[in-house]
Amino acid sequence: IGRFEGIKTLENNGVKRDYITITYQHGDQLFVPADQLSLVQKYVGSEGKTPHINKLGGSEWAKTKRKVQSKVEDIADDLIELYAKRESEKGFAFSPDDDLQRQFDDAFPYPETPDQLRSIKEIKEDMEKPKPMDRLLVGDVGFGKTEVALRAAFKAIQDNKQVAFLVPTTILAQQHYETIQDRFKDFPVNTAMLSRFQTPAESKEIIEGLEDGKIDIVVGTHRLLSKDVHFKDLGLLIVDEEQRFGVKHKEKLKQLKANIDVLTLTATPIPRTLHMSMVGVRDLSVMETPPQNRYPIQTYVMEQIPSVIKDACLREMKRGGQVFYLHNRISDIDETVEKLQQLIPNARIASAHGRMSQNQLEDILYRFLNREFDILVTTTIIETGIDMPNVNTMIIEDADHYGLSQLYQLRGRIGRSARLAYAYFLYRPNKVLTEVGEKRLDAIRDFTELGSGFKIAMRDLSIRGAGNMLGAQQHGFIDSVGYDLYSQMLSDAIKERKGKKTVKKSNAEIDLKLEAYIPDSYIGDQEEKIEYYKKIKTVADQDELDKIEDELIDRFGDYPTAVENLLAVAGLKVDADLAQVLTVLKTGDKIKVEFNNAASRELEGPNIFKALEHVNMKARISMNQEKRMVVLLQMPDEMKNRVLFNELATFLQAASNIVQR
């Protein structure tokens, strides 16, 4: 782990190239050629965690990696074991959709998003298989996860099975219950809710209904996990935000889950890399598209002035809406309420904070939901997952004290309806913001579009998402090597255990003594430049490369020769890696191509001649001391670069076809 210092263009033997500059302990510097960018990853750790800078060439990094590797292998073993157990279990195979199911699906009053349709299809396919489903549905609040879950529930009820919908809080239970009642009202389905809002007599009746099978679907808090609750024939368990249940409840959940189909919902995004490594271990459906008629949240970053606060609250109240007012110190939250009351005498104001009991807190939120208050002054405990479409203004005091993902998540609590929403990030007048604080506020102001926060929040949140998915004890390990490397190590360990054949690739070094880089005159912005180097470095095939080429022309105009060379070399590298080539090196008028040992064995005998069949350059073939095949290609006089690229591509593609057979 080192510190990135920017890109430098350096000249070496008369050839210019871009280098990534990284500084390590004691000011030691490393220059990495931009075409080797795939060897460098951006460090992402938990928010507020400063990584430890290593010594260049020390043994400490190798030690850290070894420690993480053994941990990752343990997790992979657990996951694989879990998966194997699930594969061998017999569950219930639900019937394919019938007319009533189609009627139910069509009764949804809104157009479905493409992600919703895909997720519904994936879940129904899982349910129709005999092995028990274990699927995780990831999507921001308000992106329509509940509808997806209810279609699965209806499918289960059609086969005379019962459904349990487990949620972490009473308010969420209430909200889901209202949605369920509304959605099932025209269909023969008996619904119930079990939480502390029911009287003992009501609870008793519901518990009897579950036991004799009268109730088809019940939504409830951990009360559903109590000893006195028994189901006649439970077929589907839906769990909302599983990571928010305690250890005791999770154990009970495990027992309940045995042999039945389980669908887990979460709003904490899960990073792509992890997502890929989990394929086949835990089935995932991801929803990233917001529903139609949502407006981006209007975001203002400004000084904390009473008149601004007053105007913002009054404007919201005038249109019948409500306001979240964030004040993060419990000690003087009552003073803040008084000040606001003096500022806006006719507002109905309440406060909520973490020192209240769970029940007190729920009662206040419940009253706020029922519009008994206009303004709720609160610490950051605003419930995740609760839908409050009537709250469309948020005011955050001392916004520069919050982390980026925190700000993004808080702001995401508003703007959930077809109304325009306003977020005010305030900082104290006359306060000099730290550079970090200022950057954060700028970033959040720039990311006003919907789903864009997915991109920023992804960075910080995803680490939490990873922790939730793999167990919190992983945080330290993720932090010690950074998020990307951790995911890659986990992915490799899982593949290895599943005996998956990974496509063997090399990391070929290609040096044709050409200027192949992005000059400042073409793309001036360093971050943009790195973005494109990264894209070009990670292309998987020629199609992707063509797309990047179109994008460059579209955004920056026709490119200079240096960029043309860069793209051509990237294309050659795709083929060279698949052919397991170590180096393609130009010296004078010759080009030396060296294969690794595995490829050399594949290409021995007639195969290498087959690979050279359509190449016009003269070739000499030999084996070096390391038993590696070396092909020397003779360039004719005045050979144009374009012709050279074509010749090399022809040879490398033919070789890779033989090696990858």
Helix/strand/coil for 433 = coil
**Sheet strands (E) in 304-432:** 322-326, 349-352, 375-378, 391-396, 422-427
pLDDT of residue 453: 43
Higher pLDDT, 400 or 405: 400
pLDDT of residue 424: 93
Q: What is the mean pLDDT of residues 211-232?
A: 94
Is there a contact between 175 and 385 (Cβ–Cβ < 8 Å)?
Answer: no
pLDDT of residue 491: 74
- pLDDT single digits (tens) 256-293: 777 889 998 887 665 555 555 565 666 788 787 776 66
pLDDT of residue 270: 59
Which has the closest alpha carbon to 35: 484, 579, 485, 511? Answer: 511
Q: Which amino acid is at 31?
A: F
Q: What is the mean pLDDT of residues 112-141?
A: 90
The secondary element (H helix, E strand) that includes residue 219 is strand 217-220
- pLDDT single digits (tens) 162-186: 999 999 888 889 889 999 999 999 9
For the chain, give the percent of residues with pLDDT over 90.
45
Sorted by sequence, the CB contacts under 8 Å of residue 632 that are 6+ apart come out as 590, 591, 592, 593, 619, 620, 621, 622
Q: Which residues are bridge partners to 21 per DSSP?
A: 6, 31
- pLDDT single digits (tens) 588-618: 999 999 999 999 999 988 999 999 998 999 9
Confidence of residue 450 (pLDDT cuts 50, 70, 90): very low
- pLDDT single digits (tens) 46-79: 655 678 899 988 888 889 889 888 888 887 787 7
Kindly report the average pLDDT of the chain as a whole number.
85
pLDDT of residue 561: 93
β-bridge pairing 15-23 and 29-33: antiparallel
On the question of pLDDT at 457 being above 50, the answer is: no
* Complete domains list, the chain, with CATH: 3-57 (2.40.10.170), 58-161+233-293+450-502 (3.40.50), 298-449 (3.40.50.300), 509-659 (3.90.1150.50)
As a three-state string, the secondary structure of 15-62 is: EEEEEEEEECHHHCEEEEEHHHHHHCCCCCCCCCCCCCCCCCCCCHHH
On the question of pLDDT at 473 being above 60, the answer is: no
pLDDT of residue 451: 46
The secondary element (H helix, E strand) that includes residue 127 is helix 114-127
Higher pLDDT, 246 or 426: 426
pLDDT of residue 117: 95
pLDDT of residue 447: 56
Higher pLDDT, 198 or 184: 184
Q: What is the DSSP letter of 453?
A: H
Higher pLDDT, 187 or 361: 187
Higher pLDDT, 414 or 334: 334
Lowest-confidence region among 306-310, 453-457, 597-601: 453-457
Lowest-confidence region among 362-376, 499-513, 606-620: 499-513
DSSP for 353-379, written as a single string: -TTS-HHHHHHHHHHHHTTS-SEEEE-
- The CA distance from 218 to 156, in Å, is 13
Confidence of residue 428 (pLDDT cuts 50, 70, 90): confident
On the question of pLDDT at 454 being above 60, the answer is: no
For the chain, give the percent of residues with pLDDT over 70.
88
DSSP for 249-285, written as a single string: HHHHHHHHHTTSEEEEEE-S---HHHHHHTTTTSEEE
The secondary element (H helix, E strand) that includes residue 139 is strand 134-139
On the question of pLDDT at 335 being above 90, the answer is: yes
pLDDT of residue 440: 67
Take residue 504 and report the two structure tokens written for it: 């063997």
On the question of pLDDT at 318 being above 60, the answer is: yes
Take residue 568 and report the two structure tokens written for it: 């051509």
Is there a contact between 385 and 141 (Cβ–Cβ < 8 Å)?
Answer: yes
Lowest-confidence region among 179-188, 206-215, 369-378, 492-501: 492-501
- The CA distance from 199 to 50, in Å, is 51
Is there a contact between 84 and 494 (Cβ–Cβ < 8 Å)?
Answer: no
Which has the closest alpha carbon to 33: 484, 509, 507? Answer: 509
Please calculate the CA angle 471-387-100 and round it to the nearest 5 degrees. 90
Q: What is the mean pLDDT of residues 140-158?
A: 90
On the question of pLDDT at 87 being above 90, the answer is: no
Is there a contact between 336 and 379 (Cβ–Cβ < 8 Å)?
Answer: no
- The CA distance from 265 to 242, in Å, is 8
